[in-house]
Structure 1
Amino acid sequence: MSHSIIKSALKPLILIATLFAFAVTTYTAATSADASSSDQSYSKVYKEAKKHLGARYVYGAIGPTNFDCSGFTKFVYKKSIKKSIPRTAQAQYNGTKKVSKSNIKKGDLVYFGGSKHSISHVGMYIGNGRMIDSQNRGVVTENVYSPWWHVVGFSRPATLSYDD
């Protein structure tokens, strides 16, 4: 087969591949624009979380009236900004963007346990060293740095806008 025959046969395939790449790029850009233009504000997430203060802690519960720690964070993100995050505290840590302590923002998740590979609790950071979480006293606000918690990491499940 000569090079000119091969080139002629490849031209339609190259055109199709180029058009496909353009379509994927356009769709991805439009989808990203839609996601960023939707209201993914911290105030929506916090407002939803606050609605559940006092709800009972029940191991394995995912809401809307009883929660365990990761069931609470999963519920709040899904209900407030339609963001789906993994079910367990360890999976939430593994499946979301890590941030450093110095870069933590309101709405980020704070993880506790023996290590980054042995996470047993998660709460949502609300600023000023405090979090809202579901634990044995139910859904409460409390200090992130308490004698009974060992912080092992932070993550950002969504890029939120801030009104303040």
Structure 2
Amino acid sequence: MKNTILKPLLLVAAVFAFFAASYQTADNASAAKHEYSKVLKTAKAHLGARYVWGATGPSRFDCSGFTKYVYKKSIKKHIPRTAQQQYNKLKHVSKKHLKKGDLVFFGGSKHSISHVGMYIGNGKMIDSQNRGVVTEKVHAPWWHAVGYARAADLSY
């Protein structure tokens, strides 16, 4: 008798747990999408801002000052100040797993990083460099990408 009642109850509980987990995953994806929208909106709002070495915004930036500012201002995420510190501290991802909002690092090697930009999809990034805050190709001839990192779990 116990097995007759127990099996249907376990089945109902398993189905309920499955749908609850699916709903939560959809909720998390929606929240991540909203966070990426805020990050992108903040970054785009500063297109054209002047480049100044050591500047952290809001009207002038160096490369890592820009990425630090964008994450802090948009989603209250604190990341380290310099490009090398950002690379050293953040969760590394492969080029194959690069997502919008991830950071792309450039330089001579992973131990000699001199530049960082934020990936926005379609092979492009927003970064602050000598022409100011611009959108450009990640794999332009003048950049040597040496690594990628995820500052926050964002979706698109």
TM-score with structure 1 length normalisation? 0.75
Aligned length: 127
Residue 97 of structure 1 aligns with an amino acid whose one-letter code is: K
1:26-41 counterparts in 2 under 5 A?
39-40=31-32, 41=35
Query: Following TM superposition, by how much is the alpha carbon of 1:160 offset from its aligned partner in structure 2, in angstroms?
Result: 1.2
In structure 1, the residue matched to 2:82 is: 88
- Across the aligned residues of Structure 1 and Structure 2, the Cα RMSD in angstroms comes to 1.5
Does 2:122 align with 1:132? Answer: no
Report the Cα distance in structure 2 between the residues aligned to 1:81 and 1:155, rounded to whole angstroms: 17
Report the Cα distance in structure 1 between the residues aligned to 2:108 and 2:44, rounded to whole angstroms: 28
Structure 1: 5+ residue runs without aligned partners?
1-35
In structure 1, the residue matched to 2:54 is: 60
Structure 2: 5+ residue runs without aligned partners?
1-27
Q: Deviations over 1:52-108 (max 9, x none)?
A: 000000000000000000000000000000000000000000010000000000000
In structure 1, the residue matched to 2:4 is: none
Report the Cα distance in structure 2 between the residues aligned to 1:64 and 1:147, rounded to whole angstroms: 29
Q: Which is greater in Rg?
A: 1
Does 2:101 align with 1:107? Answer: yes
Task: Identify the match of residue 148 of structure 1 among 133, 139, 142.
Answer: 142
Runs of 4+ displaced beyond 6 Å: none
In structure 2, the residue matched to 1:98 is: 92
In structure 1, the residue matched to 2:72 is: 78
Query: Following TM superposition, by how much is the alpha carbon of 1:161 offset from its aligned partner in structure 2, in angstroms?
Result: 3.5
Does 2:44 align with 1:44? Answer: no
